[in-house]
């Protein structure tokens, strides 16, 4: 009996040693993984950020974890992240392969397409076409102000009543980008529009959550009817809808008379008849989905965070409204150019972005070739995760990192400034191309709301500023009361 037990123990030990993942030579250090699970069991399923900070304190600002059997390098703090994404930008500009998000998007579009000629061409096209249809121009400003008018009209019908503004703000953000991509806006009650917005929200919550980690770490489970299947179902519905919109455009377009981004892409496809053309219809569908998602969920959650923080920090709200009154000098309309006369408002909006921390670990990167970082060797194709939260809350760069404190973005003279550690939109070749649109939308929407309303937290509710962790972080659902801003002479 003893010899049998001894034999079983020996076999178990050998299997353990055989299955235990091993770090490559000179790879960044980290905690010991266990077979099959790697280090996943050492991460919180609801919010792993505290665990990541703990590992950084113990192993340094470049460390590694195993997600299942897959090694991943984690980067912590401004100095290391800037070194990787900017100084060695091309080395870290890839996207990891074989993850759930790759399978959902088929590695097309912009967000998860790997670094190379096809991605570069589509990023160039996206930037050029967005500028064509108003990015940074008065035409884009007018599109945003049109949606702001719809928001204010809705709120005027619910003055004094606690309102959950989530769907309203998501609908408006979606419509801004829809007007550019598809050449039209949608009524907020439109069923397909509501389905798309809800699907974006659901998929964003899953993207960096426990079920995505299970899908990525345990390939044998991918065919089972588990919650991550909902992501694929959502995406298929939206993708088929967009295919239909592209088909309609193909039948109604007049070459050279571009109504929107779809027409721009179809025109370029028609011109690019040479072999090796990087533009194709299915890539257009994925590009549209990427741009629609990226410009909807992130911007909407930032605006919702801004309303939440201003309702719970009435002193900051009042100061913003005073500066707004002085800057506009009785003028009714808002212009993006007005931001230059409103340093405290600008500081408040940027502090909203910092504290909201919408993309806590950014989008996952991968190395495009064998490289080194801080003396560690990182092989080509290694998954790299940038802890942007660590930069946006790093003590040396922010006076009160845990507080909502707009003076973080003011210099000694009270002028607006943007600190080096403001990496909310990431950096390097993969920096978010929607930063300019997001800033314009955040300013025009929140300033318009501040001009017309006072945000009041309902007395019967207790505010909870803790966000819901995910690939796109969001504030917890809340209700806020909108009252007429009586100090606004126009009301």
* Binding site members: 432
Indicate left, alpha or beta for 35 from its phi (over 0: left) and psi (-120 to 50: alpha): beta
Closest Cα to residue 241, out of 193, 205, 291?
Answer: 193
Measured distance CA(152)–CA(435) in Å, rounded: 24
Cβ–Cβ under 8 Å, residues 457 and 482 = no
Provide the 10 A C-beta neighbour count for residue 465.
Answer: 15
Phi, psi of 53 (to 5 degrees): -65, -40
Specify whether the CB–CB gap between 427 and 92 falls below 8 A: no
Which residue ranges are tagged as binding site for heme? 432
Nearest in space to 37 (alpha carbons), one of 66, 5, 3: 66
Number of Cβ within 10 Å of residue 424's Cβ equals 23
Residues forming a β-bridge with 289: none
The tokens describing 435, both together, are 């930063």
Among 71, 81, 59, which residue's Cα sits nearest to residue 21?
A: 71
Contacts of 211 (CB under 8 A, 6+ apart): 226, 227, 228
Alpha carbons within 13 angstroms on the beta-carbon side of residue 465 total 17
Please, are residues 328 and 321 in contact by the beta-carbon 8 Å criterion? Answer: no
């Amino acid at each position: 009996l003893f010899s049998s037990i001894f034999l079983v123990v020996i076999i178990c030990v050998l299997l353990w040693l055989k299955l235990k993942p091993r770090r490559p030579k000179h790879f960044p250090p980290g905690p010991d993984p266990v077979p099959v699970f790697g280090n996943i069991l050492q991460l919180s399923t609801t919010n792993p950020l505290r665990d990541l900070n703990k590992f950084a304190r113990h192993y340094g600002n470049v460390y590694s974890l195993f997600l299942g059997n897959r090694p991943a390098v984690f980067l912590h703090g401004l100095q290391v992240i800037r070194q990787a994404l900017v100084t060695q930008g091309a080395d870290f500009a890839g996207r990891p392969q074989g993850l759930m998000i790759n399978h959902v998007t088929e590695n097309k579009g912009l967000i998860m397409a790997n670094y190379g000629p096809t991605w570069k061409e589509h990023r160039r096209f996206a930037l050029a076409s967005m500028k064509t249809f108003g990015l940074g121009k008065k035409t884009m400003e007018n599109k945003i102000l049109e949606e702001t008018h719809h928001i204010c009209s809705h709120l005027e019908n619910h003055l004094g009543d606690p309102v959950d503004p989530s769907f309203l703000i998501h609908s408006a953000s979606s419509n801004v980008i829809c007007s550019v991509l598809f050449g039209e806006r949608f009524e907020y009650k439109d069923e397909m529009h509501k389905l798309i917005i809800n699907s974006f929200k659901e998929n964003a919550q899953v993207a960096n959550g426990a079920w995505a980690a299970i899908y990525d770490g345990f390939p044998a489970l991918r065919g089972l009817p588990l919650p991550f299947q909902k992501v694929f179902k959502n995406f298929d519905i939206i993708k088929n809808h967009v295919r239909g919109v592209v088909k309609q455009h193909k039948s109604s377009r007049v070459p050279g008379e571009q109504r929107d981004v779809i027409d721009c892409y179809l025109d370029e496809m028609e011109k690019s008849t040479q072999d090796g053309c990087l533009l194709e219809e299915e890539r257009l569908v994925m590009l549209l989905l990427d741009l629609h998602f990226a410009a909807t969920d992130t911007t909407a959650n930032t605006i919702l965070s801004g309303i939440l923080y201003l309702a719970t920090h009435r002193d900051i709200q009042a100061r913003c409204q005073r500066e707004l009154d002085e800057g506009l000098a009785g003028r009714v309309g808002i212009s993006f150019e007005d931001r230059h006369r409103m340093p405290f408002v600008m500081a408040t909006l940027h502090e909203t972005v910092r504290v909201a921390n919408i993309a806590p670990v950014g989008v996952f990167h991968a190395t495009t070739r064998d490289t080194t970082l801080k003396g560690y060797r990182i092989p080509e194709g290694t998954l790299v995760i940038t802890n942007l939260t660590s930069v946006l809350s790093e003590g040396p760069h922010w006076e009160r990192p845990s507080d909502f404190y707009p003076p973080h973005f003011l210099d000694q003279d009270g002028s607006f400034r943007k600190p080096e550690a403001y990496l909310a939109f990431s950096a390097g070749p993969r920096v978010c191309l929607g930063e300019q649109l997001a800033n314009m939308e955040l300013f025009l929407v929140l300033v318009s709301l501040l001009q017309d309303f006072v945000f009041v937290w309902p007395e019967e509710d207790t505010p909870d500023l803790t966000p819901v962790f995910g690939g796109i972080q969001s504030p917890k659902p809340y209700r806020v009361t909108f009252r007429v801003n009586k100090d606004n002479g126009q009301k």
